[in-house]
Structures are given as C-alpha cells and as structure tokens.
C-alpha cells in the first residue's frame, strides 16, 4: 500500500523506463533529497535545477520542443505565480504555431493547506490554472489515482498540470496500485531512501508495475447517493466522503460524492447525470472564493440543468482572505472544515423540492 | 570582437567561406529582407494588414547568422529562439518572402501562425525555428531547454536565442546565462543581444548603465564579445568564431551585435525611415563596389528585381482569404477539437 | 469632451498636483512618448522604467512602503502575467504584517481586444486579478468614469488595479468631466503632445479640474429596465447598452444595463436589487469563459436570490481558446459580438416566468 | 574584501567604532541570536511551534550589519528588505527575543505578523523593516523602490536587501542590479548575498558556475566585494566601508558574505547541528580571549545568562493564546473589515 508520494515516484519510474520521460527536475528534485515530499527519490532522470521557477518552466518547454518529455516540479504551488506568463505560452504555442509545435510536458506542484504551512505553503492553484487555456489539469485524492493520473499525464502530448495535495502526500490508499507489493513495509524498504547518507543507495523497484492509466477527463462517483451531489477533489475529497458517511449514518440522507480527478477538461456527463438525479449540488474546494474554479463548475451545470435544480447550486470554498495564517485557529477559519461540509450538505438536502 | 583564439576541434559543421559569389548572394538576401519590410510597412499604411514590426537595420548580422545555421529538424540541427526582427535570418535560411506577407495579411495560408499572430512571428517546425513569442525575453528561458537536449544528444547542433537590448532588463536574460553555465552541464548555446539603442521610445542610456550588455556573461564564466552588427564582414567572422567554439566545445557564448533601427520601433510609431542611423546594406554595397564585385548599377538592378517580384507576391497574397474561424479551436494536439461552435465547420 | 486617455491624463495631473502622486512610471510612460496610448503625456512625475514588469511592480511596492504614492503602468495587460506573485504579495502585505504596512499604489494596464491586437495585445485580466486577494479593481467604460475612478484609486490607501480598455482609449464621452473645456479641439491643443519634436512642449492643463471621485464599489445603472438585468463593464458595456436600445426599439423588451465600474469589491446591493426585479441576469465580458470573473458575479447573485430567478443566470464571455487571432474573422469569433449580446438578452427575456 | 579606497564625504551617519566594550556587546548579541535559534528549534521538536527556519551561522555578519543600520522610520533612515535568516540583524537592532518566540508559537501577541507567518518573518514598520516575504528573491525587486524614494529625498539613508546564494538564480537579483544603476538615478542600496553554499539540499557548485555571485554587479558598473562573513572584524569593516560609500555617494554596492549554515536548511531537514561548518561565535570568542577582552568562563557565563532569560521568555510565550480568527479578515487598511464571518467578534 503506497502513499501518494510513493505512487507518484513509481509512476515516474514507470514513465522514465517505458514512456519516454527524459527529465524529472526542479528544486531539490534530484539526489540527495529526491523532492521535498520524497516523490522523486531514486529516479534515474531526476536532477536538481537552479532555484528559478521561470527557468524551470522555460527549460521544460524547451526540452519538450526538442523532443524530450519532461516532468518539471515547482516545489510548492505558492511559488508558481511568477511563471503564469510562461504557462500561458506553453498553453498557446500549439494554437499560435498553427499546430506545428506541441509540448508534451508535465508540471507537478504541491497545493493546498493542511500542514500548518502558513501563508506560503498553503496556496491553491486550480482557479488561476483553469483559466489558462491549453492545459489539462489533474488533482488526485488517493494513491491509486495518483499513479494512474500521472501515467495519463505523461502519455498526453499536451501540457498537463498535476496538482498534488501536500497534506495527502503521506496518505495511504486502500486500493492496491497494480504491481505494487501489498505490504507497506516491504515497499518502504524497497523504494524509500534511507535516512542519513544515501550516496550509495539504489532503489529496488517493484517488478510488476504497469501501464495503469486513468483517462483524463473522467470523474469518479466515489460514493453513490440520491439526495445531494457533492463535487470535490484533492484534499477536500476525503473530507466530503467522511461527511457523507456520517450524514447517512445519522440521518439517512444519501449524498453522492464525485471526485473530479481531472479539473480540465471537465467530465460534464458524469456531473450532469448526478445533478439531474439529486437536483442539488455542492462544490467543495479550498481555494479562495472569488473567481473560484468551483464557480465555473456550477455555471456549467446551470447551463445544462438549471431547471432541474431545486436548491441554489452552492460553493463551499476558502474564505476571501489574503492568506492562511500559521496559527491553527486562523487556518481552520479560512478553509472548509468537516463540520461546515456536513452543514452545507444537510442544508441543501433539507430544502423542500 | 574580442574572442581569445582557441584551438577548435575538427569535424563540426563549418561556416561557408565568404567567397565573392557568396557575398553577392548575401547582398541579394539583405535586399530581399529589406524589401519585405518595405512591402509590409506599405501594407500597414494602406490597410492591407494591421500592426507592423520587422528588422530593417539588422540585415548584415541577420543574414550572416542565417547562412551559418545548421538547418534542419531535431537536436542534430540548430534550434532558433528568435524575436520579431529576425526576417534577415529567416530569409537567409530560405524562408519565402511571400509567407511573411501572408502573416502580415493574416491569411489562412500563413504557414507560421495561420493568420493568428503579428508579422515576423515565425514558427517553422521543420527548421527548428520555435514560435516567436510576443512576450519580450521569454525565449531566453526556453532556449536552455533545447540546448540541454542537444548537450545530452551529442553532435554539433547548437541553440540560438536572440532579442533586443531593452529586453535584457527582464530577469529572464540572467536566467539564461545561469542555466547555460551549470557546472558540468554547460550548454551549447549562442546567446545574442541585438542592441539597437532603444526599447520603443526609451533610449538605452536612460535605463541601462552599460552599453556592453554581453559583459554580464563574464561573471558566469561565459565567453562573450561585442561586434558591429552593421559591418557584414565583422559580423560574419564573429558568428563563425562563436559558433565554431560552441559546436566543438559544447559551451555557451554571448554575442552582442550593435545594429540600426531604420524604421523606428513599429507601425505604432509611424515606421518612417529614421535619418542618422547607419544602413548596413548601403555599407555592404560600398564594400562590394570597392572590391570590384559589383557596380552601382548592378546593385540597383537587384533592388529592382526583388521589388518587382515582391509586387507579384503581394498580388497573390491579396487574393487569398483571411484566416477564418474554421481553425480557431485547435487548442490541443492529438485530439479532435473540443470546442466547436455550432456554426463552425471543422477542417 | 475628453477621450478616456485624456481623462486619465487629467486625473493623473490632478493627482500629482493635489493628491500626493509621486511617480507615474512604466515602459515608455515618460517623455517623449507619454505612454503607448498617450495617457501619461505632459505629467511632471512621469518617467520611463526599464523593460521589466517585475521591476516595475516591485518598485511600486517599495515606493509605497517608503511613503510615496506611485501609479505604475504595465504597458499591456498581456505582459502582466509574470508578476502575479508580486501582485499577490502587494495584496497580502497588509494582512501578513498584521496591519503595519499598507500599500497606497495604483497599477494601470490596458486590457481587452478590439484593436486587431492579435494574441498578445488582446488579453483580459479581470478573472485572474479578481482572484488575487487584497486588490480593488476598477474598469471604466467612459471618460468621466475614467477620471473619477482614477481619482478614487489614487485616494485609496490600498492597492488598486485600474483596467483600461485599449479599444475605448480614444472614445469620447458624452458627459463633461468637471473642469474640462467642452470644446474637444481646445482640449487637444492644450494637453496633447505635438507630433514630431516635443522636447520643449509643455501642456496647458485646464484650470478647473476637480476632485471628482467615483466611490469604489459603486455600480451604475446606465439604462433602466424591467425585463432582464445585463451586467457588464469596460469595452463590452457600450455594446450592451446599444443592444438594449435596439431591442427596446424593436421589441419593447426593456433590459436594465448595469456598469459595474468597480469589479472588486462588488456592489452587490445594486446588482441584487435589479435581479430581484427583472428575475433574469446576463453577465457580459470578453475574458475567456473558464473560471471567469462573471461566473463569480453569477454565483454571488445565486447565493442571494436564486429563488427569484426565472431563467438560468447566464454568462456571455470569450470563447475558451488560447488566444485572439489577428485575422478579424478569428477575433470576431472569439469575443462577444453585438449580435450575440442581443440574442442572449432576447433569449433570457423570452423564457416564460 | 576588495573595495578600492575612496575619499568619502563627511557628515553622513557613521559606523560606531569597534571598541572593546562594543565587542563584548556584539558577543552577547551573537549569543542571543543563537539561543533564539536553539529555543525555536526545540519548540519545533516539542510541538510548541510548527516550521522552523533561522540564522545560526550568520551571527558575525548579521550583528555587524544590524549595529550599523541607521535605525528609524521613513526615508531618512535605512530600509531593510530581509530574508528569513536575519535574526542576528534584528537582535542587533534591538528586537526582543521573546517576539521571535511568539511568532514561532503563532500567538496573538506576535508583533510581526499576528500569528500568521513563519518564525523569522519580521515586519517592523517603526524601524523600516519591510515584511519578510516567503517568496525567495522578491525582496530584490522591491528594494529599489524604497531606495528611489531615498535618492529623491536626500540625506544619508540607504536601503539594505539580503538573501541567499541559491536565490540569486531568480531573475529578480539581476533586476535589482539593473534598477540600482539607471544612469543618473543610481540608488543608495546595499545589495547583499549571504552565501552559505546551499539552497536546501542543492550545493551551490551544482547549479551556479561561480562562487563570486557579487561579481555580477561589475557589468552594471556597480562596486562589489566578497567578505568572510564568519569573520566579525572583516565583516564589520566591509559593511562600514560599503555603507560609508553608499551614504555619501548615493550609489549602490553589492556585498557578498560567505557564511555558515549550522543547522541545515530548516526543521524540514531536521535542524540538527552540522559538523564541519565554521562557527562564527566560537571564532569571535577565540579572538576576545586572545585579545584579553574575555575569558572562557566569562563567555560561558553569557551563554548561561542568555539561556536562562530565554527560558523565562518561553514560559511567558506558552502562556499566551494562539492567534485566533478574531483578526483574520483585515485585508484592506482604512476600512472596517469587509469579510466578517458571523461568529467572529471584531476587534
Ligand atoms: C514582456 C513584455 N513587455 C513589454 C512588451 C511591449 N514591447 C514590445 S517591443 C518592446 C521594446 C523592446 O525593446 P528591445 O528589447 O530593445 O528590442 P527592439 O524592439 O529594440 O529590437 C516592448 C516594451 C512586450 N512585448 N513584452
Ligand atoms: C520563489 C521561491 N521558490 C522556492 C522557495 C522554497 N525555498 C525556500 S528556501 C529555499 C532555498 C533558498 O536557498 P538560498 O537562497 O541559498 O538561501 P538559504 O536558505 O540557503 O539561506 C527554497 C528553494 C521559496 N520560498 N520561494
Ligand atoms: Mg532595442
Ligand atoms: Mg544558501
């Protein structure tokens, strides 16, 4: 049973061995550290870049132009905001070169709160990112998806942004990734770098890793229900699932929880089908609420099924404040908490038809 | 230019030698490039196109560069990350003048951008010409990427990046110098600054302390030089020397070319001919005549011939349809366009 | 009757003479050019910066920290996207310094399509900008508002982003700015720099310019109506007004058109009042449609008056493409056109209650 | 250090002279700064605080700098744009150790950020200490702004900006050099690089070609120097000389200090004491003892006294409430908070 960090590591290993990944790079991505969350330990193609996010994105674009397949990391999404112009260029070069160039590149970056990261280790990125045309965006909430979405991102010939929740990085899934050993300790001893001197360390990769792919643009109904649709992803997803389970146990109200997994392009079919059924929809994410990606999801649903909605299509998101404070009291008051998620679901469910 | 002489390895792609024949070819290429600018400026004035920007004044350096490029596709060949004054380079590489007129006209036939981008914003995948980005200086952070692939690939291919003087104020220029010189991973990259003394209306002396921008390379342990970009022979030699070094040593070189800006910044400032700037073509013609390689009359004949041909080209371009919404929705490769407006037939 | 460019120029002049503006700067903002749209000609405090947007925003922040009051220009909003991290810092320094610092700075930048600007002279910025906490955002649609909003922006002790439509820059208003000469030619001869050599030129500023201020956060109902609410701003606003007028003439249907003027903070009272009355709402802007600021406006209205809505709250925005093509056919197919605006208004008006 | 000697104008703010008394004060300040790090590291380990980062190893250079700052509010005084290893500077300026423990604890009483930011992210408006930004290198693009106000204002105030070696790979460092040297608008700014040889886990030699980062200033016509930041006397002199030049000539200077990183990057890497790095305090104590200014015992007494005091401080801090949501909504100045959650009483 891998953590999400291990799942990413294994997918990147599979990618460099089988899918043509040429460079996994970024700040502290190579040895000895292998990434601030260990997601790139032991990889053959991993290397440390200068501390220069613009240089990282630019280099990834150049590598992709010259036939390489880079996976570039921005150490924290909090530090990606000086590269938006470059991300826009990466997203428009295919279009503006009239289809001559395309950029098979992956950019991965940790997002969200939940680790007492204070203002600059807590940023979300989906709202700004989804406004940049030409990028596909994924945001896994469990290890198996983390693997399958990374494989899909690598295979895609277009720029793909891979958002990984900092707080979930050590979360262990409950589904086995095809090919991984079931014993967590065994896996740890094979692919985790030792503490201390690791100059001579070599990972032993599981033999049976596969091409397991989660198609981009496909959401997953992770908990079936009939009374409210709850749409989420990344760190908020398990909180929504837990809230739904509690609510069902306590009240019998059955919320359907959908894990978007891919934020762009949206799986409108799955969403619409659910909302037409439940006639109530809540989107939950932790980005700040003004011009929030969840508002886009709601608008798309309104375009398709307004007349089926019996309650206001609702967003539960981060409060419109300039940052997440270090004090836990500040953080908790700034991003959705389990109690608020429950409350919102119940509120929507209880609105009379 | 001040490159220290060095023993160069053999066997790498060689610059052609500057024979009398080649000089005459260069002369014609310089004129072709200039006439492209004349015609596109006139298209702007007559409403046959919108915004104009181009390279009049950069012909000596640009044609010298274009002819020394190892042209082709993939890391065995040179990559070019160019800015919007690079028509002399493209002409020397063999790009068709009519295609630039097409981009100026935003026709569907514009091979560089399908009528999407401004004139002189090239993209030629077959020749490793990466898309010219309208954002100043961003090419300097992408160039290390192609050079890194070349470094690893081996061979003698190199990466060329160019841009203006004012743009070097963006941090991206320094990023490029740093990425080009990582210890043990020095890149085969020719970092060029075309110094024309202005950024739009702002004189360089108002915003930058030194006229030797290339000197910034020094602190990174990178070789550098400054050349009179209006002097064809000097430009040719400087490029040849820098390229030979890069191709064989697989290390970077920073080359500044001091050039003219003969028609102001762009159509936004009128695009009129500026007095007082040196014309590199006139200067080269004086050389040709002095050397007995051409007469005044022979030179004039070339101008006339090129202008006549370009008139034909323009006629053709004006008969072609503007780019339509047919193709506007190709955001991703490898897929059917995902955003089809109901009334747009798809190609 | 001033153009918007002249209105801005006069407001900046008033600002440097009376409101403590210390620096008006940016690329080509000082003499001889006075800005690519002439909006900063003849100002005493105007100067040319290096070609470095990060340096410009950073310098503005530093000037504001040290007690100055800068108005910084980014030459085109298309080139602001390498500074998003700095804009975020500017927006959070008050909060993160626990109220010790505040940044009285204005950043102005031309936005939108409409001048055959192709991909990099056509960008909109309101969607990304409104997601950055700590900034107020204005976007005038006429010269008088351009003046009054600039005065308000200068007076505000917080960072204010001033979005000016490229295509409207030469639009002449039909209302006089207090203190300006009514004769356009007279004004031109007083404050427009001459063509050619202007080394010795001095502007003659109108004597009677005033403190005319449009309070931030106040929208304007620019055309009253009862049947549909149309919310817009900047370049799209006059198109909406024209569409509403044509529709009324043709069908008798009366659309109420609201000019937001301030995009953040939103004037929710004015918006809600109108929507409760018309029970139908259309937001029109030209930014691309995914995670679009208009979706936020709609969501806020849904939160407040979902049960009053008789038709789907609707967004008409730019198509989700990587850029505006140079060919007019491409541009017209990418941003809302008059016919589409009319069509949408009519569509909403005709939905039965 | 290699500053050319120059005649300096008189009448500007002077560095205090390095008397025996001052040396003893410096010694104590260095210890105070180090003990703050000891205590905040232990708070991280015991769960009394979250992330730790700080300045152990930068005491010699930092205290020397802090004591030479012209402290106060407004352009007549020095502005400081600091990074997160600047506690020695702050201690020397007179900041209270307890306030750093408060920020580590994220209490409501944290005067720098109200429990919002990580430890050692200062903001002190009364002393021109601008908010420490967690984004590497962005301070280098803001610093020219305060220096520009000072240039125009006159007087002898200057702007100080510092940061690490790895961070100079960001283009913002070059932006700073360029803005500091606009012809006729040269800025009174001290541009500092604290070179500790690493960016987190990445050795400088892997990503930067030269160990003399300050040399980049050369191409901008800016004076520069490199000093052993572990050597208090050398640091003191280098700072004094650079500041005197800047204060009187109103021109910039780039100073690199080579320093130690005694506890690794941060708590994320364990914050254990690293062997093999020079300890600037031990070195200065050897000097004091050699000069007969102190004994080993006297030195140890200072350590003990400071540690005892800091224990009291910690006790106090642990009794204070964590920052609560009461104040989280102050986005704008001059207004009532606009975003009040129903259950949050407002101050
Ligand atoms: C990032 C960015 N900022 C601003 C502009 C607008 N702009 C276009 S060209 C130009 C001046 C460029 O001057 P220089 O780099 O010297 O090149 P030149 O045009 O003189 O060859 C400016 C400011 C831009 N295109 N991109
Ligand atoms: C823009 C940005 N990128 C990345 C980071 C993450 N980060 C924090 S400290 C650090 C290393 C800094 O190294 P250096 O500049 O040498 O300073 P040092 O910590 O060694 O003093 C990194 C990469 C950041 N804070 N900001
Ligand atoms: Mg120039
Ligand atoms: Mg360091």
Confidence band of B341 (pLDDT split at 50, 70, 90): very low
Per-residue model confidence as pLDDT tens digits over A42-89:
999 999 999 999 999 999 999 999 999 999 999 999 999 999 999 999
Specify the pLDDT at position B273. Answer: 95
Tally C-beta pairs within 8 A across B and C.
117
User: Is pLDDT at B325 greater than 70 in this prediction?
Assistant: no
Q: Is the dihedral of CA B2, B5, B8, B12 positive or negative?
A: positive
- Provide φ and ψ at C78, rounded to 5°: -55, -25
Determine the length of chain D: 347
Probe site for chain C from A57, A119, A122, A291 (most C CB atoms < 10 A): A291
Both tokens of C15, joined, read 């600002």
Give the containing element (helix H, strand E) for A107.
strand A106-111
Using alpha carbons, list the distances in angstroms from residue D29 to D18, D42, D96, D221, D239: 14, 20, 11, 36, 17
Q: Which residues pair with B202 in a beta bridge?
A: B199
Per-residue model confidence as pLDDT tens digits over B249-264:
999 999 999 999 999 9
User: Is pLDDT at B340 greater than 50 in this prediction?
Assistant: no
User: Is pLDDT at B326 greater than 70 in this prediction?
Assistant: no
Of A65, A68, A95, the CB nearest to B331: A95
User: Is pLDDT at D334 greater than 90 in this prediction?
Assistant: no
- Name the residue of chain D whose CA is nearest to A332's CA: D325
pLDDT (mean) for D264-280: 94
Q: Do the Cβ atoms of D141 and C97 come within 8 Å? A: no
Specify the pLDDT at position D12. Answer: 87
Angle ∠(B44,B49,B52) on CA atoms, nearest 5: 50
Q: D210: distance to nearest CA of chain B, Å?
A: 6
Q: Which residues of C touch D332 (CB under 8 A)?
A: 94, 102, 134, 136, 157-158
The overall average pLDDT reported for chain B is 93
Per-residue model confidence as pLDDT tens digits over A270-304:
999 999 999 999 999 999 999 999 999 999 999 99
Residue B164 Cβ inside 6 Å of ligand 1? The answer reads yes
Per-residue pLDDT of chain C (353 residues; tens, 9 = 90+): 999 999 999 999 999 999 999 999 999 999 999 999 999 999 999 999 999 999 999 999 999 999 999 999 999 999 999 999 999 999 999 999 999 999 999 999 999 999 999 999 999 999 999 999 999 999 999 999 999 999 999 999 999 999 999 999 999 988 999 999 999 999 999 999 998 889 899 999 999 999 999 999 999 999 999 999 999 999 999 999 999 999 999 999 999 999 999 999 999 999 999 999 999 999 999 999 999 999 999 999 999 999 999 999 999 999 999 999 999 999 999 999 999 999 999 999 999 87
Q: Which residues pair with C111 in a beta bridge?
A: C165
Of B206, B215, B221, the CB nearest to D219: B215
Count of CB atoms situated within 10 Å of the CB of C332: 17
Chains that touch D (3 or more CB pairs under 8 A): A, B, C
Q: Which residues of B touch A63 (CB under 8 A)?
A: 145-146, 148-149
Q: Which ligand is nearest to the CA of C76?
A: 1
* Range scoring the smallest mean pLDDT among A85-94, B10-19, B56-65: B10-19
User: Is pLDDT at D346 greater than 70 in this prediction?
Assistant: no
Specify the pLDDT at position D335. Answer: 64
Strand order in the sheet with C220-223: C220-223, C255-259, C228-232, C281-288, C314-318
Q: Which residues of D touch C132 (CB under 8 A)?
A: none
Both tokens of D307, joined, read 């540690």
What is the distance in angstroms between the CA of the first residue and the CA of the last residue of chain B?
52
Widest distance between CA atoms in chain C: 66
Specify the pLDDT at position D83. Answer: 97
Residue C131 is a catalytic residue:
no
**Atom 18 of ligand 1 has which residue's CA nearest to it?**
B164
User: Is pLDDT at B7 greater than 80 in this prediction?
Assistant: no
Is B230 exposed, middle or buried (CB count within 10 Å of its CB: 0-12, 13-18, 19+)? buried
Per-residue model confidence as pLDDT tens digits over D287-298:
999 999 999 999
User: Is pLDDT at B10 greater than 90 in this prediction?
Assistant: no
Probe site for chain A from D202, D269, D274 (most A CB atoms < 10 A): D202
Residue A51 Cβ inside 6 Å of ligand 2? The answer reads yes
Chains that touch B (3 or more CB pairs under 8 A): A, C, D
Q: Which residue has the higher pLDDT, B339 or D53?
A: D53
Tally C-beta pairs within 8 A across A and D.
116
Note whether D26 and D239 are within 8 A (CB): no
Give the containing element (helix H, strand E) for A316.
strand A314-318
* Range scoring the smallest mean pLDDT among A81-95, A192-206, B325-339, D50-64: B325-339
Q: What angle do helix axes C4-18 and C143-155 make, rounded to 10 degrees?
A: 30
What's the per-residue H, E or C state across chain C? CCEHHHHHHHHHHHHHHHCCCCEEEECCCCCCCCCCCCCCCCCCCEEECCCCHHHHHHHHHHHHHCCCCEEEECCCHHHCCCCHHHHHHHHHHHHHCCCCCCCCCEEEEEECCCCCCCCCCCCCCHHHHHCCCCCEEECCCCHHHHHHHHHHHHHCCCCEEEEEECCCCCCECCCCCCCCCCCHHHHHHHHCCCCCCCCCCCCCCCCCCCCCCCCCCCCEEEECCCCEEEEECCCHHHHHHHHHHHHHHHHCCCEEEEECCEEECCCHHHHHHHHHHHCCEEEEEEEECCCCHHHHHHHHHHHHHHHHCCCCCEEEEECCCCCCCCCHHHHHCCCCCHHHHHHHHHHHHHCCC
Both tokens of D309, joined, read 């005091």
Neighbours of ion ligand 4 (CB under 5 A): D 164-166, 196, 198
Q: C89: distance to nearest CA of chain A, Å?
A: 9
User: Is pLDDT at B344 greater than 80 in this prediction?
Assistant: no
User: Is pLDDT at D340 greater than 60 in this prediction?
Assistant: no
CA of D259 from ligand 4 middle (Å) equals 9
Beta-carbon-side half-sphere exposure of residue C91 (alpha carbons within 13 Å): 25
Per-residue model confidence as pLDDT tens digits over B120-172:
999 999 999 999 999 999 999 999 999 999 999 999 999 999 999 999 999 99
The pTM of the full predicted model, rounded to 2 decimals, is 0.97
- Compute mean pLDDT per 10 residues along chain A, 353 residues long, and list them: 97 98 98 97 98 98 98 98 98 94 97 97 98 98 98 98 97 93 95 91 96 98 98 98 98 98 98 98 98 98 98 97 95 96 97 87
Both tokens of A114, joined, read 């939940």
Q: Do the Cβ atoms of B220 and D210 come within 8 Å? A: yes
Specify the pLDDT at position D60. Answer: 98
Specify the pLDDT at position B6. Answer: 39
Confidence band of B347 (pLDDT split at 50, 70, 90): very low
d(CA D215, CA D338): 48
Specify the pLDDT at position A147. Answer: 98
d(CA D287, CA C41): 62
Count of CB atoms situated within 10 Å of the CB of A198: 16
Of C13, C94, C116, C121, catalytic: C121
Specify the pLDDT at position D337. Answer: 46
Confidence band of B227 (pLDDT split at 50, 70, 90): very high
Q: Which residues of C touch A84 (CB under 8 A)?
A: 81-82, 84, 128
Count of CB atoms situated within 10 Å of the CB of D10: 8
What's the per-residue H, E or C state across chain D? CCCCCCCCCCCCCCCCCCCHHHHHHHHHHHHHHHHHHHHHHHHHHCCCCCCCCCCCCCHHHHHHHHHHCCCCCCCCCCEEECCCCCHHHHHHHCCCHHHHHHHHHCECCCCCCCCCCCCCCCCEHHHCECCCCCCCCCHHHHHHHHHHHHHHHCCCCCEEEEEECHHHHCHHHHHHHHHCCCCCCCCCEEEEEEECCEECCEEHHHHCCCCCHHHHHHHHCCEEEEEECCCHHHHHHHHHHHHHHHHHHCCCEEEEEECCCCCCCCHHHCCCCCCCCCCHHHHHHHHHHHCCCCCHHHHHHHHHHHHHHHHHHHHHHHCCCECCHHHCCCCCCCCCCCCCCCCCCCC
Specify the pLDDT at position B5. Answer: 35
Specify the pLDDT at position B345. Answer: 31
């Amino acid at each position: 049973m891998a953590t999400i960090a291990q799942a990413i590591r294994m997918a990147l290993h599979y990618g460099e061995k089988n899918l043509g990944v040429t460079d996994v790079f970024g700040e502290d991505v190579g040895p000895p550290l292998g990434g601030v969350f260990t997601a790139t330990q032991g990889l053959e193609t991993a290397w440390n870049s200068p501390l220069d996010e613009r240089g990282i994105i630019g280099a990834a674009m150049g590598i992709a132009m010259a036939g390489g397949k880079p996976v570039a990391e921005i150490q924290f999404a909090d530090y990606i905001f000086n590269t938006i112009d470059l991300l826009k260029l990466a997203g428009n070069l295919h279009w503006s070169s009239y289809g001559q160039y395309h950029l098979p590149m992956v950019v991965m970056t940790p997002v969200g709160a939940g680790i007492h990261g204070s203002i600059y280790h807590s940023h979300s990125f989906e709202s700004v990112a989804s406004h940049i045309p030409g990028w596909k965006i994924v945001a896994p909430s469990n290890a198996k998806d983390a693997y399958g979405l990374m494989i899909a991102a690598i295979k895609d010939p277009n720029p793909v942004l891979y958002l990984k929740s900092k707080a979930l990085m050590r979360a262990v899934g409950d589904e086995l990734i095809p090919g991984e050993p079931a014993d967590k300790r065994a896996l740890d001893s094979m692919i985790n770098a030792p503490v201390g001197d690791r100059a001579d360390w070599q990972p032993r990769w599981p033999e049976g890793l596969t091409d397991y792919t989660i198609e981009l643009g496909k959401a997953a109904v992770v908990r079936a229900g009939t009374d409210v649709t709850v749409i989420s992803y990344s760190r908020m997803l398990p909180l929504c699932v837990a809230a739904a389970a509690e609510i069902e146990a306590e009240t019998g109200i059955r919320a359907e929880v959908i894990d978007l997994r891919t934020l762009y392009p949206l799986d409108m079919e799955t969403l619409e089908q659910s909302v037409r059924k439940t006639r109530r929809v809540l989107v939950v994410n932790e980005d700040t609420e003004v011009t929030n990606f969840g508002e886009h999801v709601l608008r798309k649903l309104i375009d398709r099924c307004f007349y089926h909605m019996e309650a206001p299509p609702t967003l539960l998101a981060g409060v419109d404040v300039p940052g997440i404070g270090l004090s836990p009291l500040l953080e908790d008051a700034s991003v959705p908490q389990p109690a608020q998620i429950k409350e919102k679901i119940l509120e929507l469910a209880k609105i009379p038809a | 230019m001040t490159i220290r002489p060095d023993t160069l390895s053999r066997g790498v792609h060689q610059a052609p030698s500057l024979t009398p024949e080649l000089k005459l070819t260069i002369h014609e290429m310089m004129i072709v490039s200039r006439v492209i600018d004349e015609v596109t400026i006139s298209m702007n004035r007559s409403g046959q196109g919108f915004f104009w920007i181009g390279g009049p004044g950069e012909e000596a350096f640009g044609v010298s560069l274009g002819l020394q490029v190892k042209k082709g596709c993939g890391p065995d060949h040179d990559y070019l990350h160019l800015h919007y004054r690079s028509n002399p380079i493209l002409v020397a590489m063999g790009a068709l003048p009519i295609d630039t007129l097409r981009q100026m006209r935003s026709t569907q036939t514009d091979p560089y951008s399908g009528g999407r981008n401004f004139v002189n914003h090239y993209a030629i995948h077959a020749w490793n010409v990466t898309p010219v980005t309208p954002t100043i200086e961003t090419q300097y952070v992408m160039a290390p990427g192609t050079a890194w692939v070349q470094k690893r690939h081996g061979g003698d291919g190199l990466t060329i990046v160019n841009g203006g003087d004012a743009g070097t104020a963006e941090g991206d220029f320094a990023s490029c110098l740093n990425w080009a010189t990582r210890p043990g991973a020095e890149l085969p990259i020719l970092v060029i600054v075309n110094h024309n003394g202005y950024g739009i209306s702002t004189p360089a002396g108002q915003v930058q302390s030194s006229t030797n921008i290339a000197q910034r390379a020094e602190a990174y342990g990178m070789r550098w030089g400054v050349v009179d970009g209006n002097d064809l022979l000097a430009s040719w030699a400087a490029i040849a020397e820098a390229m030979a070094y890069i191709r064989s040593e697989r290390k970077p070189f920073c080359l500044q070319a001091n050039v003219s800006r003969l028609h102001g910044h762009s159509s936004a400032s009128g695009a009129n001919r500026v007095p007082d700037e040196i014309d590199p073509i006139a200067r080269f013609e004086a050389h040709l005549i002095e050397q007995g390689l051409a007469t005044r009359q022979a030179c004039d004949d070339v101008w006339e011939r090129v202008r006549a041909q370009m008139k034909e080209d323009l006629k053709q371009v004006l008969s072609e349809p503007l780019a339509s919404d047919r193709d506007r929705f190709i955001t991703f490769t490898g897929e059917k366009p995902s955003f089809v407006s109901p009334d747009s037939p798809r190609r």
